[in-house]
Amino acid sequence: MNGAQALVRTLVDAGVTTCFSNPGTSEMHFVAALDTVAEMRAVLGLFEGVATGAADGYARMTGRPAATLLHLGPGLGNGMANLHNARRAKTPLVNIVGDHATYHVQYDAQLQSDIETMARNVSRWVRTSRSTGDLPTDATEAVVAALGPPGQVATLILPADVAWTDGAQPAPPLPRQAPAVPVDAVETAAKVLRNGGRTAILLGGSATRDEPLRAAARIAAATGARLLAETFPARLSRGAGVPAVERVVYLGEIAAAQLAELEHVVLVDAKAPVSFFGYPDKPSYLLPPGCEVHQLAGPADDAPAALAALVEALDAGGVEAPVQPAARPQRPTGALTAEAVCKAVGALLPEGAIVSDEANTSGLHLAASTAGAPAHDLLCLTGGAIGQGLPVAVGAAVACPDRPVVALEADGSALYTIQSLWTMAREGLDVTVVIFNNRAYSILRMELDRVGADAAGPKAKAQLDLSGPDIDFVAVARGLGVPAERASSAEEFTTMLERAIAEPGPHLIEAVVPSVL
């Protein structure tokens, strides 16, 4: 078999059974090899950012890496923004980038560029496979590197001749590296939590999922500590029957107030909170002076096991942690606003839903509206690179065909990777897309004020304005093969949402709403 065939076989044997692809000429042998390995599913995207974001969403839901298949440096470039988000999410991802044949590089042909250097921006593990014989073991090392801990984007660069040359053998999977349980840190954290000071447990990374979250809630209940989560968790378990957790708010100055009383923070696969951006006369570091920071588990540690050990150390196993009571908002009525949309989502969100949230400012009321909805997973914009929400929804839907996916999208963000809709249609994915169309980069209107840019005139304002022409998302969605409709009242939106959730396959609902700011 040739290198590409051995590569695909090796990936499947190592548990990588889905590839989100946007291939070109240099990847044609990989594409041809798909038919030689029945277990590998290939999902085509019309833009690389769809593929990389989908691979991120897939792994957030399965814990297993997907592969991407990208075309040389420009293809990697198009995929970078969502690889950046995946890096911040600590997502395991095997990022396969085709390259010119090794002997062709010397000619500096049109598509030649420095793939390795660009990949280092998102990948600590980058390797250009140098021979067909080494390719399968390179692949197994890529998978293990991707899995971590911590999970990461591992980039395997695949020269065309390494793929097409014959004589390869698949390689058996390598053992996954086990995360450490930080015993000393458990002791320290137990002491801190016993001392009775104003203490918070801040959860991030792998600690915001159901089981570790319940352990953390038990600890909080036993010790009186506050339970916090990072602003944009990669995957947050929430809803009725799940312990509620307070997220650090996005706006730095408000977050600083939220955190102002703290004397101790115990970090669980999270960083001490910092502002998204630096602002004139606003703090970058958000914990108050003198607040002591203790790390229970770092990104390479087994955070769930550390929390379980901490429960034991605190003798909190019998403590009943409070959980979110079941409660839904009334179906909204009247004018269609972003708040009404959030309420409708809260009123109708089905059991076991996966919510991909890139609603940005329009999602202000989302957390409250859905807090008591049936238990669901929330996938957030981990790296701040907008255009993540629709691709992540694609990946989550591929990963979990039996769970409904709801993608809540701001208009501006949706347009970076709008090609995702086509993949939803092609694959028949059960995704309900809600577009909050406020016809503006609304968050930037706020940020223009926050940075103190006081001279904003008509040219500046035009840069934040998405009207003129208004974007018709219903037409765009239908053009890309997704059934779509536009709601003009809260009642109509709610009816449309109910129908979209009930029907299998993708749907899009456009909600033209005023800006919440």
* Closer Cβ to its own copies, 4 or 139, answer by number: 4
- What is the dihedral sign for C-alpha 20, 22, 26, 30? positive
Task: Please tell me whether residue 449 adopts helix, strand or coil conformation.
Answer: helix
Q: Minimal distance in Å, beta carbon 239 to its own copies?
A: 25
Q: What's the order of all strands across the beta sheet hosting 292-297?
A: 246-247, 226-229, 199-203, 264-268, 292-297
Task: Name the minimum Å distance from CB 73 to its own copies.
Answer: 6
Least CB distance from residue 104 to its own copies, whole Å?
A: 3
Pick 313 or 448: Cβ nearer its own copies: 448
Does 353 bind its own copies (CB under 8 A)? Our answer is no
Q: How far is the CB of 448 from its own copies (least distance, A)?
A: 5
Q: Are 258 and 285 in contact (CB under 8 A)?
A: no
Looking at residue 512, the DSSP 8-state letter turns out to be E
The footprint of its own copies on residues 116-175 (CB under 8 A) is 117-118, 120-122, 160-161, 164
Helix (H) or strand (E) holding 43: strand 41-44
User: Which of 63, 133, 352, 481 contacts its own copies by CB under 8 A?
Assistant: 481
The answer to the question of residue 300 lying near its own copies (CB under 8 A) is no
* 280 belongs to the binding site for its own copies (CB under 8 A): yes
Tokens of 203: 């959860």
Nearer to its own copies by C-beta: 88 or 328? Answer: 88
In terms of Cβ atoms closer than 10 Å to its own Cβ (0-12, 13-18, 19+), residue 381 is: buried
Note the Cα 97 to chain centre separation in Å. Answer: 21
276 binds its own copies (CB under 8 A): yes
Q: Is 36 in the site for its own copies (CB under 8 A)?
A: yes
Based on the shown chain and the rule CB under 8 A, indicate whether residue 412 belongs to the binding site for its own copies. Answer: yes
- Considering only 15, 17, 24, 313, the residue that binds its own copies (CB under 8 A) is 24
- Nearer to its own copies by C-beta: 94 or 345? 94
CB-nearer residue toward its own copies: 197 or 483? 483
Q: Is 254 in the site for its own copies (CB under 8 A)?
A: no
Which of 46, 180, 244, 319: binder of its own copies (CB under 8 A)?
Answer: 46
Q: Closer to its own copies at the Cβ: 53 or 148?
A: 53
Phi/psi at 400 (5° precision): -130, 75
**Per the structure block, which two tokens stand in for 480?**
């890309």
Closer residue to its own copies (CB): 26 or 68? 26
Using the rule CB under 8 A, which residue among 169, 330, 333, 463 binds its own copies? Answer: 463
**C-beta of 447 vs 498, nearer to its own copies:** 447
DSSP letters, 157-204, are EEEHHHHH-B-----PPPPPPPPB--HHHHHHHHHHHHT-SSEEEEE-
Determine which residue in the list 175, 290, 334, 469 makes contact with its own copies, applying CB under 8 A: 469
Residues of 69-83 as b/e, b for ≥16 C-beta within 10 angstroms?
bbbbbebbebbbbbb
Q: Contact 285/272 with Cβ under 8 angstroms?
A: yes
* Segment 214 to 253, residues that bind its own copies, using CB under 8 A: 232
The answer to the question of residue 290 lying near its own copies (CB under 8 A) is: no
Interface of this chain with its own copies, residues 81 to 120, rule: CB under 8 A: 81, 83-85, 88, 100-101, 103-104, 107-111, 113-114, 117-118, 120
Residues 303-342 that bind its own copies (CB under 8 A): none
Q: Is 409 helix (H, G, I), strand (E, B) or coil?
A: strand
Q: Should residue 190 be labelled a site residue for its own copies when binding is judged by CB under 8 A?
A: no
Cis amide linkage into residue 149, ω under 30° from 0: yes
One of 3, 65, 75, 298 touching its own copies (CB under 8 A): 75
Residue the block writes with tokens 């409250």: 368
67 DSSP β-pair partners: 19, 94
